[in-house]
Chains A and B, each alone.
Chain A
Amino acid sequence: MVDFGIPIGAGIAFGLGALGTGIAQSKIGAAGAGTIAERPETFGLMIILVAIPETLVILGFVVSTMIMIMLV
């Protein structure tokens, strides 16, 4: 019988990471857009700030890859 638990677990690990990143980036992005409107010179800094939560999805991706590779 096919074990669905592993791919589902990997999917949850990746999906929740992506969701977390999305929620965080939406808030930082909105605030950042406001900041850039007031002070355009902060554009570079805002791009970095928006990229910060991407750690979550990357760690999610790593965990899901490890689940897939190590447990299969």
Chain B
Amino acid sequence: MLQKMKKIQVMGPKNDLQSVVDVLYHTGTVQLEDVSKTILPGDTILRKMDFTKAGDLTTILLKLGGIFLSLPKVPDDLLKQAHITEDLQKKSQGEIIARANEVVAVLESTTKDLAERKSNLEFTLNALDRYEKIIKKIQPLESQLPVLKGFEITVVLIQREFREVLELVRNALIDITRNQFELLSADMDEATIATVIIFNKKYSEQVHSFIFSQNVNEIRMPQEYLGKPFIEILQMITEKKEKTIDEKTAIDHKLTELSAEWYQELAVLKKVLEDRNEEAGVFNKFGQTEYTFLIEGWIPKKYLDRTKEALSNTFGKRVIVLDLKVSPEKMDDAPTFYDNPDIVKPFEFLMQLISPAKYREVDPSPILALFFPIFFGLMVGDIAYGAIILVFALIMKKKFKTEIWLQHLMNILVISSIPAIFFGFLFGEFFGNLGEMMGWIHPMTFLGVTWNRAEAIIPMLILAIAIGVFHVFLGLSIGIINAHTRKSTKHMIEKAGMIIVITGLLLVIGASAKMVPEILLLPGVVMVVIALPMIIYGGGFFGAFEIISTMGNILSYARLMAIGMASVVLALVANKLGGMMEVAIVGFLIAAMLHILNIALAMFSPFLHSLRLHLVEFNSKFYEGGGKMYQPFRRDNEGDKSMK
């Protein structure tokens, strides 16, 4: 069912505007509308509110965000935060901003300085780790290095896959240094080679510029490490690392202290100011007079009292809520709010595939929730398949709790698997004909027909078409209700005419095929003759062509039988092929694999076709769509919470 909507106006003194908007934002029930649409041209008393977002709010939010990121996270103390929030809500916007400025003044420079120093120390630690790793790797080469004064050492790192660059470097160094160099390599790790180059200092500039031009990763050691034995360098690195870690720990300690003192207030200030910033964005939708403001919006009828109460609790009689009388035609502008019982909710998800229903239309989701599982069950119609689909859906639901769309889909499968098991009993199917072969179950006889799907093809076809006739007639009947709601007599007559023509045609076909008494032939012809002008009156000359398309729609329900039969035949093939194998285990495996394939198809194909029968064959008889979804003014992630 679509929820009944009300259009309201909220009025009060301008001084309270900010707080009223805040209350509405936290109640989260009103979809705000632009008041300027209702202001008459030339109205000098009521005018649009001009409001530009305060720049200081954005600036202070940025600063708070920066401080918040620098401080280590502390668990939220909800009680303390609620207390701070309560205090803040009592203050005016200016006072809240002033408090935020005070907090920023105390914390900004300290946290910024500490965070910067911490980041520098982390950078130093990373560099030291790198030097240590390289030196440890090239340490075994130390004995091979010539001890020469006036020579310089540099290290380059080369990716193993580009090792041919080494040859290029060697050749170039021969030219640059006139062969006064040494080049030694050692494996750094699986992907990298560390190469030590010793060369005469007088060629330093050319060598470095050559290495740079080759885009080779050169590691330049700090000045203090140059010319020292590797063992000594390693010791210096270890000492410096210890010192850096101590310094970093001290900074962490200071940040933790700051966090313990300020985190809760900061979190609240940030949230409150974010809300205020968000709220400021909607002020342009409001109207104003000299001393009062005017807010307009849509609200579901069931939330109206709660919202009125929230406003009167805070503002008493200063702020009033007017429940506007809206003409039925204007109600077409009301937003669509699907609000069905829990069992229908998953099917609302499927309705998202098409544009939302208009406010005054009949909501098709409850009908979808009733017929979708029946159609699915008719097509799957196997006890074992139904049970496996049920278990699969329950496991998926448990495994992917955070994926909302998957939860909806799996809920639909859970609901639909029940009719599948039920029809499995009717058709006597358990893994196709396996249950029957084993003597566990037999197709039931009902209305004089044994409902064995592999053999009762014609009765199944008639059943499918009969369901199609009923479903399409139901769609046309809803079409009449929709046309009645918008007082469109022509459409009502067209839909009624269509029901009569189709009934007449079915009687004519039935009587000709001797499926119904021949005496009904004449009434059938009369019905067609009478109702045809009704269709032409309602839908024009081309409306008559709709008869053919509606007949096509009804025949399309034959898929209920056809897809089910394809599934039965595949199950029979699986059992037969499995039974033909001489080695039992091989036969079992083949049958199991084919059944698994069939179950996978059974989950996909009947789902899709059941949905398609609703969206294409059924909905086209009445559904218009083009509505707007209800989007209340509230904090995004608190939507569901505030609605309950």
Asked, given contacts A62-B461, A65-B457, whether A54 binds B353 with beta carbons under 8 Å apart, the answer is: no
Report how far A62 CA is from B565 CA in the complex, Å. 11
Q: Give min CB distance, A6 to chain B, whole Å.
A: 15
Q: Which of A52, A59, A69 is within 8 Å of B555, CB to CB?
A: A59
Asked, given contacts A48-B611, A48-B616, whether A58 binds B559 with beta carbons under 8 Å apart, the answer is: yes
Tell yes or no: B360 within 8 A of A by CB.
no
Binary B-proximity of A54-67 (CB < 8 A = 1, otherwise 0): 11001101100110
Name the B residues within 8 Å of A61 (CB-CB). 562
Do B353 and A44 touch (CB < 8 A)? yes
Do A62 and B562 touch (CB < 8 A)? yes
Tell yes or no: A31 within 8 A of B by CB.
no
Report how far A66 CA is from B558 CA in the complex, Å. 12
Report how far A69 CA is from B455 CA in the complex, Å. 10
Interface set, chain A 30-48, CB cutoff 8 A to B: 44-45, 47-48
Name the A residues within 8 Å of B583 (CB-CB). none
Report how far A51 CA is from B615 CA in the complex, Å. 11
Q: Give min CB distance, B598 to chain A, whole Å.
A: 17
Do B457 and A51 touch (CB < 8 A)? no
Do B555 and A51 touch (CB < 8 A)? no
Interface size on B, residues (CB 8 A): 20
Q: Give min CB distance, B512 to chain A, whole Å.
A: 14
Do B552 and A55 touch (CB < 8 A)? yes
Tell yes or no: B608 within 8 A of A by CB.
yes
Name the B residues within 8 Å of A55 (CB-CB). 552, 555-556, 559
Q: Which of A45, A58, A59, A69 is within 8 Å of B353, CB to CB?
A: A45
Asked, given contacts A45-B354, A51-B609, whether A58 binds B458 with beta carbons under 8 Å apart, the answer is: no
Q: Give min CB distance, B450 to chain A, whole Å.
A: 16
Do B354 and A54 touch (CB < 8 A)? no
Asked, given contacts A54-B609, A62-B461, whether A48 binds B353 with beta carbons under 8 Å apart, the answer is: yes
Name the B residues within 8 Å of A48 (CB-CB). 353, 608, 611-612, 615-616
Report how far A45 CA is from B608 CA in the complex, Å. 11
Q: Give min CB distance, B479 to chain A, whole Å.
A: 20
Report how far A30 CA is from B558 CA in the complex, Å. 27
Name the B residues within 8 Å of A44 (CB-CB). 352-353
Name the B residues within 8 Å of A45 (CB-CB). 353-354
Nearest opposing residue in chain B for A65, CB measure: B457
Q: Which of B458, B562, B563, B609 is within 8 Å of A69, CB to CB?
A: B458
Q: Give min CB distance, A28 to chain B, whole Å.
A: 13
Q: Give min CB distance, A27 to chain B, whole Å.
A: 18
Asked, given contacts A62-B461, A62-B562, whether A47 binds B552 with beta carbons under 8 Å apart, the answer is: no
Report how far A46 CA is from B562 CA in the complex, Å. 23
| Residue among A58, A61, A69 facing the most chain B CB atoms (10 A cut-off) | A58
Name the A residues within 8 Å of B615 (CB-CB). 48
Name the B residues within 8 Å of A51 (CB-CB). 608-609, 612
Name the A residues within 8 Å of B608 (CB-CB). 47-48, 51
Interface set, chain B 603-637, CB cutoff 8 A to A: 608-609, 611-612, 615-616
Asked, given contacts A58-B558, A58-B559, A62-B558, whether A52 binds B457 with beta carbons under 8 Å apart, the answer is: no
Q: Give min CB distance, B292 to chain A, whole Å.
A: 42
Report how far A47 CA is from B353 CA in the complex, Å. 10
Nearest opposing residue in chain A for B464, CB measure: A62
Do B562 and A58 touch (CB < 8 A)? yes
Name the A residues within 8 Å of B612 (CB-CB). 48, 51-52, 54
Report how far A44 CA is from B354 CA in the complex, Å. 9
Report how far A54 CA is from B379 CA in the complex, Å. 15
Name the B residues within 8 Å of A59 (CB-CB). 555-556, 558
Interface set, chain B 538-580, CB cutoff 8 A to A: 552, 555-556, 558-559, 561-563
Report how far A69 CA is from B462 CA in the complex, Å. 14
Name the A residues within 8 Å of B458 (CB-CB). 66, 69
Name the B residues within 8 Å of A65 (CB-CB). 457, 461
Do A52 and B616 touch (CB < 8 A)? yes
Name the B residues within 8 Å of A54 (CB-CB). 559, 609, 612
Q: Which of B352, B457, B556 is within 8 Å of A58, CB to CB?
A: B556
- Identify the 9 closest CB pairs spanning chains A and B, nearest first: A44-B353, A58-B559, A62-B558, A58-B562, A55-B556, A51-B612, A61-B562, A51-B608, A45-B353
A selection of 6 A-B contacts at a CB cut-off of 8 Å is A52-B612, A58-B556, A58-B562, A59-B556, A59-B558, A62-B558
